[in-house]
Amino acid sequence: MRLNSKRYLVMSAILLNILFGCQPEDISQGNGLTDTSLNAAFTIVADGTSPNKFTLKATNKNYIMSKWDIGDGAGAFIGGMEQSIFLPDAGTYNITHTAVGKGASTASATSPITVLTSDPNSGNIVQGGSFETSSDIAKWTILRISSSGTSWVFGGGKATVTGGGWNQQGFYQAITVIKDKTYKIDLVASSTTGVSNTWFEVYCSTTAPTQDSDYSADGIKRNINTWDGCGGAAFSGKTSNVGCNSSKNVGTFKAPISGTMYLVIKCGGEDLKGGISVDNIEVRGQ
C-alpha cells in the first residue's frame, strides 16, 4: 500500500513538472492561447472586366477570421481571406484588412486603391453626400418644417440633427433620374446615445419640398423609428442594416420620369439626445 502511494506521488510530480515546464518562463512570451505572429498583409488584384471590381487576397492565411474595411464609410465587415469588392465611384479608397487570431488577437494592414472612373450604371447620382467640403454642403438645402426646436447642422464630414420637443426638420437635394430605371437609396447613420420617441425618414419623389411644410410624398424609402423597434440604443451603419420595418426600409424605387426627383431626409421627435449623424448618402442604379 505504501509502495503504491509512493508511485502515485512520483508520477504526480513528474506530470506537474512536465505541465509547468512547458509554460513560458516570462509572461511576455505569451501563454500559447494568443497568436503573437499575425500577419494581415494582402494584395489587390484588379478585375480585367471592370475598373470598379477588385479581389483582395490575404498573403498569410494562418489565422481564424478576416475583417475588411473598404474605405467607403460603412465600416468593417467579416469577409473571406479572398474578398471580391465593387467600388462604383471614382476616388481613392484606403482598404484595411484585420486578421483575427487565437485569443482574439488582431493585426491590421492598409493599402490604397484608386478608382479612375465611376461605374456608368451604379455610380452615385447624389452630389456632396460625404459633406467633406463647403462645395459638398452647398449641394443641400435645409427644409424648415417646425419653426424651431430641431435642426440639422453640416460639419465634420457629416450632417447632424439634434433637438426634440416633437419638432422636426429636414434637408434635400434635386437628383436627375432616368425613367423606368430602378434606384437604391442608402446612407450611413449613427447615434452615440440612441434617441427617444423619434422618427428618421428618407423620401424620393417628383414632388418638390415646400418650406414650412411637412414632407411625406410617395412613401418612406428608409426608416429609423423607435416605435418600429430601432434607434433607441446607440447605432452606427448603413440604414439598410440599422433601419427597421421592412415595408418602410426597402430603399428602392422605380423612376416614374426622366428628369428631376427630390431626395428628402427628415428627422424629429420627443428627444434626439446626442443626435443622429448621416454621411455617405447615395442613390445608385440597380
Phi, psi (degrees; rounded to nearest 5) at 135: -65, -40
- Confidence bin at 246 (pLDDT 50/70/90): very high
User: Is the model's pLDDT at 176 over the cut of 50?
Assistant: yes
CA count, 13 A, side-chain hemisphere, 81: 14
CA count, 13 A, side-chain hemisphere, 165: 10
Q: For residue 171, give the CATH number of its domain.
A: 2.60.120.200
Q: Is residue 278 part of a domain?
A: yes
Q: Is residue 120 part of a domain?
A: no
Q: What mean pLDDT is predicted for residues 161-171?
A: 98
Q: For residue 78, give the CATH number of its domain.
A: 2.60.40.10
Q: What mean pLDDT is predicted for residues 186-212?
A: 98
Q: What is the span of the domain harbouring residue 76?
A: 42-115
Q: Domain check: are 141 and 97 in the same one?
A: no
Q: Domain check: are 111 and 140 in the same one?
A: no
Q: Domain check: are 143 and 191 in the same one?
A: yes
Q: What is the pLDDT of residue 32?
A: 54
Last residue of a domain, one of 53, 80, 115: 115
Q: Domain check: are 92 and 232 in the same one?
A: no
Q: Report which of 205, 185, 94, 190 is spatially closest to residue 143, judged by C-alpha positions.
A: 205
Q: Report which of 133, 170, 129 is spatially closest to residue 150, judged by C-alpha positions.
A: 170
Q: Domain check: are 152 and 272 in the same one?
A: yes
Q: Is residue 76 part of a domain?
A: yes
Q: What is the pLDDT of residue 158?
A: 97
Local structure of residue 208 (DSSP, 8 states):
P
Sheet holding 106-115, edge to edge: 77-79, 65-69, 91-100, 106-115
Q: What is the pLDDT of residue 131?
A: 97
Last residue of a domain, one of 115, 149, 169: 115
User: With pLDDT > 70 as the criterion, what percentage of the chain qualifies?
Assistant: 87
Q: Is residue 128 part of a domain?
A: no
Q: Domain check: are 108 and 140 in the same one?
A: no
User: Is the model's pLDDT at 189 over the cut of 90?
Assistant: yes
Q: Domain check: are 81 and 184 in the same one?
A: no
Q: What mean pLDDT is predicted for residues 171-189?
A: 97
Q: What mean pLDDT is predicted for residues 135-163?
A: 97
Least confident of 3-17, 83-97, 151-165, 209-223: 3-17
Average pLDDT, the chain: 90
User: Is the model's pLDDT at 185 over the cut of 60?
Assistant: yes
Q: Domain check: are 266 and 171 in the same one?
A: yes
Q: Domain check: are 65 and 184 in the same one?
A: no
Q: What is the pLDDT of residue 75?
A: 81
List, for residues 211-242, the tens digit of each pLDDT value: 999 999 999 999 999 999 999 999 999 999 99
Local structure of residue 117 (DSSP, 8 states):
S
Q: What is the pLDDT of residue 37?
A: 80
Q: Domain check: are 252 and 196 in the same one?
A: yes
Q: Is residue 179 part of a domain?
A: yes
Q: What mean pLDDT is predicted for residues 96-122?
A: 94
Q: What mean pLDDT is predicted for residues 241-270?
A: 97
Least confident of 3-12, 112-121, 186-195, 266-275: 3-12
Last residue of a domain, one of 80, 115, 150: 115
Q: Domain check: are 108 and 143 in the same one?
A: no
Q: What mean pLDDT is predicted for residues 190-219?
A: 98
> How many domains in the chain?
2
Q: Read off the C-alpha cell for 111.
A: 493599402
Q: What is the pLDDT of residue 34?
A: 62
- Confidence bin at 33 (pLDDT 50/70/90): low
Q: Domain check: are 99 and 214 in the same one?
A: no
Q: Is residue 256 part of a domain?
A: yes
Q: What is the pLDDT of residue 16?
A: 45
Contacts of 134 (CB under 8 A, 6+ apart): none
